Structure 1
Amino acid sequence: MDDFSVLKTMKDTTFNNYRSQFDALNDSHQIYQLTAPKLDKDQKELFSMALDSKLVVLCARVKYSSFTNVNGIVKHIDAL
């Protein structure tokens, strides 16, 4: 199960926020695809780098949230 599915399964409050961010990133990628033919080399590179870096950050946030949720459950189990 991937980290995003873990958050959804655990009904984590951050899931909807991250879902919205992924949707916005996908929308931005579609805009990039439509405008890329009109952009010069530097503009394409900047746009692409911005999309890539935002995706990396968002994935790291999801991974961290998933880890903290699972870790919280493990700590709860250990306390039993």
Structure 2
Amino acid sequence: MDKQAGSHNSLYSELNVLNLEILSDHRDLITDVLIDLRDIQTETKVNASKSEVIGSFKALLDEENITDAKIATLIAPTNNAQYRKGV
């Protein structure tokens, strides 16, 4: 468990969660996203600067079709099993 001053104790998965399916499934309900930009050691690799990640998410929210989202290639591999299976 990684403990940092001023931060809650946290447990992390081996992969970051990136759920683009929910944007497609509930496009009419989602207007904003929360992006955790902390440097957390996982097997997920982010191939962009933090400002590029933010810009990619902004572009994603403006797009009609998210199936070919650039963000999925910038942040990989990821997981969204809880969305598919439930908690």
Query: Which structure is higher in strand share?
Result: 2
Query: Which structure is higher in helix share?
Result: 1
TM-score (norm. length: structure 2): 0.25
Q: Which has the larger radius of gyration?
A: 1
Q: Specify which structure has the bigger relative contact order, considering alpha-carbon pairs within 8 angstroms and separated by 6 or more residues.
A: 1
TM-score (norm. length: structure 1): 0.26
